[in-house]
A = this chain, B = another copy of it.
Amino acid sequence: MTNTDLAKRVYDHAFKLDPIIRSLLDTDIYKLLMLQTIWKEFADIPVTFSLINRNRDIPLSRQIDLGEFREQLDHARTLSLTKKERIWLAGNTFYGQDRLFSSEFIDWLSHYRLPGYELAEVGDQIRIDFHGSWSDITLWEIPVLSIISELRSRSALKRYGRFELDIIYSRAKAKLWEKIVRLKQLPDIRLADFGSRRRHSFLWQNWCVQALRDGLGENFTGTSNTLLAMEHDLDAIGTNAHELPMVLATLAANDEELKYAPYRVLESWQRTYDGNLLVVLPDTFGTTGFLRNAPEWVAGWSGFRIDSKDPVAAGEELMDWWRSRGQDPASKLIIFSDGLDIDSIEMIHRHFLDKARVGFGWGTHLTNDFRGCAPDHNDQLNAFSLVCKVTRANGFPTVKLSDNLEKASGPETAIQRYLDVFGKDQVLHRTVLV
């Protein structure tokens, strides 16, 4: 018989809610980086963020309890920055830069709480929308996704006994470690955790991050999760996301301004950040068109993040473009973060070795790979393609084309207009898994 900690046991009995989000910093750092830019330049633009389930055959509202979902959302709304978190945000060095977050921004953020939401069950799906000013709404993206992801895991695991759970986690640990053993074979790999939004659970992401740190040492460059970065003294890693060009596109008064919107994003970004943070995400309206129309100064940025195009093709296209703009690809950073797993990481790493600096942002298959870990067949443990995107801004529906029209979003007529403006270079139709 082990000795039971009676106090803990009794405390647990009285537990009403096992919170999924325990801190406002339990979000990707890029949301905070973007928020600072948004807050400075575009704070009051009205936006709507909405949940989009790209795998419609997954009956989300049957897999999680809407009451529990609401409790978790409401719990997240009670959170505000703690004193320790404020001090850390202000005093920590990000990307080698002190005071990355201005004291005015941190003051504002200290009073911030997540705003309300509109939640409904529609058939076997969940509809959730967030309406408000961009600076108020944008932070919802990560917590709403990680809450759904973890509620779904919890409900998938309810059928198992304590012993089966032990097996499931042992297998998942062993599985991740096999991947890490393979990563260790890759010379000078640079890899970060990007797995907050679709993680199996917060505690599991926490374990995965420690596994990577232990296994890869200095080659593990950090985590996108701000809270875990703080807790484990890791670098908080992130770039920027599609919402910036998507919203700025809605501000364009005509096609000419629309065409320039992706570069206006970069101008705003550069007013706030510098150095390693100067990473371009070129695919919002198609990478090829973006590169073709880019002003000269874009080639001077530190790197690019490839998100929706075949990684080798996109990397090669990018290197050709750098060379055509008089830049040396070997001095540039290419970040890959789209649906990575160990096989594709190995393949991409080998391909670009000695050609460019490569960084990997490893997401879902890092923090939520329980495939084959259950004693029975349990699809609900598999991650799927759930996103929370800005769907309206400034009174207009937003549009995203990306390099993969399967990932395109927006009304059909608007998509056509954007294709006319940015060029129809999208040819890929890859199946979207996560």
Contacts and interface: CB of A to CB of B under 8 A. Distances in A.
Interface of A: 3, 5, 8, 161, 163-164, 166-167, 169-171, 173-175, 177, 181, 210-211, 214-215, 375
Nearest to A207: B166
Contact of A214 (B3, B161, B171, B215): B161
Contacts of A164: 214
B163 A167 contact: no
Nearest to A3: B8
Contacts of A177: 167, 170-171, 375
Contacts of A215: 375
Residues of A contacting B: mostly:
helix
Nearest to A178: B171
Contacts of A3: 5, 8
A412 B173 CA distance: 52
Contact of A174 (B161, B163, B171, B210): B171
Contacts of A170: 169-171, 173-174, 177
As for how many copies of this chain the complex holds, the number is 2
Contacts of A167: 173-174, 177, 211
Contacts of A210: 163
A214 B163 contact: yes
A8 B5 CA distance: 8
Contacts of A173: 166-167, 170-171, 174
19 contacts: A3-B5, A161-B214, A163-B210, A163-B211, A163-B214, A164-B214, A166-B173, A167-B173, A167-B174, A167-B211, A169-B170, A170-B170, A170-B173, A170-B174, A171-B173, A173-B174, A174-B174, A174-B175, A177-B375
Contacts of A169: 170
Nearest to A171: B174
A211 to B, nearest CB: 7
A356 B57 CA distance: 50
Contacts of A171: 170, 173-174, 177
A375 B170 CA distance: 15
A356 to B, nearest CB: 31
Contacts of A163: 210-211, 214
Nearest to A177: B167
A223 to B, nearest CB: 16
A193 to B, nearest CB: 16
A377 to B, nearest CB: 13
Given A171-B173, A177-B375, 16 more contacts: A3-B5, A3-B8, A5-B8, A163-B211, A164-B214, A167-B174, A167-B177, A167-B211, A170-B170, A170-B171, A170-B173, A171-B174, A173-B174, A174-B174, A174-B175, A181-B375
A150 B214 CA distance: 26
A74 to B, nearest CB: 25
A306 B254 CA distance: 88
Contacts of A166: 173
A210 B375 CA distance: 15
Nearest to A166: B173
A354 B220 CA distance: 56
A375 B216 CA distance: 12
Nearest to A373: B174
Question: Which of the listed residues A177, A211, A375 has the most CB atoms from chain B within 10 Å of its own CB?
Answer: A177
A161 B210 CA distance: 12
Contacts of A214: 161, 163-164
Nearest to A184: B375
A34 to B, nearest CB: 30
Contact of A5 (B5, B175, B211, B375): B5
A212 to B, nearest CB: 11
Contacts of A181: 375
A49 B177 CA distance: 44
A275 B196 CA distance: 61
A382 to B, nearest CB: 18
A361 B181 CA distance: 34
A215 B163 CA distance: 10
Contacts of A375: 177, 181, 215
